[in-house]
Amino acid sequence: MRKILITCLMMLGIMAKAQTGYQVGDIATDFNLNNVDGKNVSLANYKDAKGYIVVFTCNTCPVAKAYQSRVEALHKEYAPKGYPVIAINTNDPVTSPGDSYENMQKLAKEKNFSYAYLEDPNHIYTKKFGATKTPHTFVLTKTAKGNEVAYIGAIDNSQDLLSSNMNDFVKNAVNSLLQGKKPEITSTKAIGCGIKWKKEGATE
């Protein structure tokens, strides 16, 4: 019994490590994913960017929906300053049909998204970054070493915008980076829906 318990704990440890993804200070590798306009998008496409606001999100989660206008506002405010938003749909479209590519295109058109909205149907970059919720945000900043992760977590601390102690985590992080400073808060707990993962053994 003791051996079984030890084995289970070791497996849980390995799984936790595998699902950790990037930590603050890590260098994020580039991706090449399909945008809703049919073109592939990578970080390297943004030649003049100083960094990126990468938001793992989806069509269907109520929390992700609540943040759609704020994600758009982040892009409109910070893309001209060198920090564009790049949104990535994390959900498997078979497990969650509302997150199909066609539905992504419909939503982007309906909401008039001005930022890239990419699909990651096999969770390759969702897992690499370590996203677990929708939305889950990663602020990257360009350095001599590459695209360094400067902030991970929630967009802010008030989904319903009713908090008397509002803290705009992503805005504050990007503002600090634009001033050449490290963000005061570099990590928070992402609040949202769990990602709809591809079922084991499923194929495209």
Q: What is the pLDDT of residues 77-107, one digit of tens each?
A: 999 999 999 999 999 999 999 999 999 999 9
pLDDT given for residue 155 in this prediction: 97
Q: How far is CA 195 from the centre of its chain?
A: 11
Residues in the chain, overall count: 204
- DSSP class of 29: P
- Mean confidence (pLDDT) of the chain: 90
Burial class of residue 82 in the structure, from the number of CB atoms within 10 Å of its CB (0-12 exposed, 13-18 middle, 19+ buried): middle
CA distances from 36 to 31, 105, 173 (A): 15, 5, 28
Domains, the chain, ordered by start: 26-157+167-194 (3.40.30.10)
Q: What percent of the chain has pLDDT over 90?
A: 83
Mean pLDDT of 123-144: 97
Residue 133: both structure tokens together: 């919720």
Residue 186 in this model has a pLDDT that exceeds 90: yes
Q: Which residues contact 29 (CB under 8 A, 6 or more apart)?
A: 128
Closest CA to 62 of 166, 200, 172, 160: 160
pTM of the model: 0.88
Q: Which residues contact 197 (CB under 8 A, 6 or more apart)?
A: 92, 95, 123
Q: What 3-state class would DSSP assign to 46? A: coil
Confidence class of residue 11 from pLDDT cuts 50, 70 and 90? very low
